[in-house]
Amino acid sequence: MQDRRLAVLGAIVQDYVSTSEPVGSKSLLERHQLGVSAATIRNDMAALEEDGLIVAPHTSAGRIPTDAGYRLFVDRLLAIKPMSRAEQAAIAEFLSGAVDLDDVVDRTVRLLASLTRQVAVMQYPSLTRSDVRHIELVPVGETRLMLVLITTTGRVEQRTIEVAREAVADEDLVARLRAGINATASGRRLGEAAAALSVLPDSFAPSERDVVRRVIGALDEALIEEREERVVMAGTANLARRPGDFPATLEPVLDALEQHVVLLRLLSTAEGGQQHIAVRIGHENPVTGLQSTSMVTTGYGTGGDLVGGLGVLGPTRMDYPASMAAVRAVAAYVSALLTQ
């Protein structure tokens, strides 16, 4: 009996998501092979309503899922249906055209918004979770060196350093300094790299230590300088296309979306690994303005390390299986792209 009622709940969720109309017992019998009579369906619907899983929105005979009904539906999904090969190929082709990290982030949110017709959000890779991939040191002019820091998450920081003319002209010194910095810092977390580099000047001749300290000082700024975490968003217009899915006005939702601190906190649900999909439904959201919405998020990273979160936000009348599949697939391709 419990399995049958779960099947009825699943059918109500699917029909309501696709039609936006309350679902009655007659339409369930017409659209789904449930193998029972109309009276049995009505009894099951009454039991589901008593359990708070469906509700009558007005005097019609139809019912719609509650937040609890959506939650049980999502929790009982046996598996997330993978996207088709054509969809996966389109995702890979679109993201592979990115030229830098900013382009990766921009393409990701636009792609997610297009695939799901929801609002897509993505957190920039966190510097605190990034490792040093490479550090370049290049003479630019007679008295300047250009320092370029590249992290494993694709972020790039540049600094220009004023040094003595003799140091710039000394190709051997620049080469040894570049090699020493990379040998010390590459593969380390940014904070660890800054600490390890503090003793590097001692390995150079006294006459060379001034330029080494200047370069290390500039690198320290790039490694440990605090930066505001960033969130990028696309697809806000998708909300306006579905005004009937919100209780009164979109204003509280739009106000909450403007607060990046709020979005960063919600993206923290992406913790748990790159295969973990977190779903917050309606009143499960801690932000009052977003309690008429649902959010599907996951983490992305390089190798086995998470460096940020991404996901979609939309009304609770959401196609959860499709949204979860899209978020998981896009996160996997972003992770692979950053690793490369």
Question: What is the distance between the alpha carbons of residues 106 and 244, in angstroms, rounded to a whole number?
Answer: 29
**Which tokens sit at 209?**
């230590």
**pTM to 2 decimal places:** 0.78
| pLDDT average, residue stretch 206-227 | 79
| pLDDT average, residue stretch 290-313 | 86
**Which tokens sit at 317?**
């009348």
Please say whether the beta carbons of 296 and 314 come within 8 A: no
Please report which helix (H) or strand (E) contains residue 64, including its range. Answer: strand 64-65
Question: What is the distance between the alpha carbons of residues 134 and 152, in angstroms, rounded to a whole number?
Answer: 8
Backbone torsions φ then ψ of 138, nearest 5 degrees: -130, 130
Question: What is the distance between the alpha carbons of residues 142 and 13, in angstroms, rounded to a whole number?
Answer: 69
User: One-letter amino acid identity for 171?
Assistant: E
Question: What is the distance between the alpha carbons of residues 293 and 282, in angstroms, rounded to a whole number?
Answer: 5
Round the average pLDDT of the chain to a whole number and report it: 86
Please write the tens of the pLDDT for every residue from 97-151.
Answer: 888 888 999 999 999 999 999 999 998 887 667 788 899 999 988 888 999 988 8
Helices (H) and strands (E) in the chain, counts: 14, 10
Show the DSSP H helices in 119-204 as ranges.
165-169, 171-185, 190-197
Share of the chain above pLDDT 90, in %: 32
Please say whether the beta carbons of 112 and 106 come within 8 A: no
Question: What is the distance between the alpha carbons of residues 203 and 180, in angstroms, rounded to a whole number?
Answer: 9
Burial of residue 242 (CB within 10 Å: 0-12, 13-18, 19+) is middle
User: One-letter amino acid identity for 5?
Assistant: R
Please write the tens of the pLDDT for every residue from 265-296.
Answer: 788 655 555 568 899 999 998 888 888 899 99
Instruction: Return the pLDDT at 275.
Output: 67
Instruction: Give me the count of residues in the chain.
Output: 340
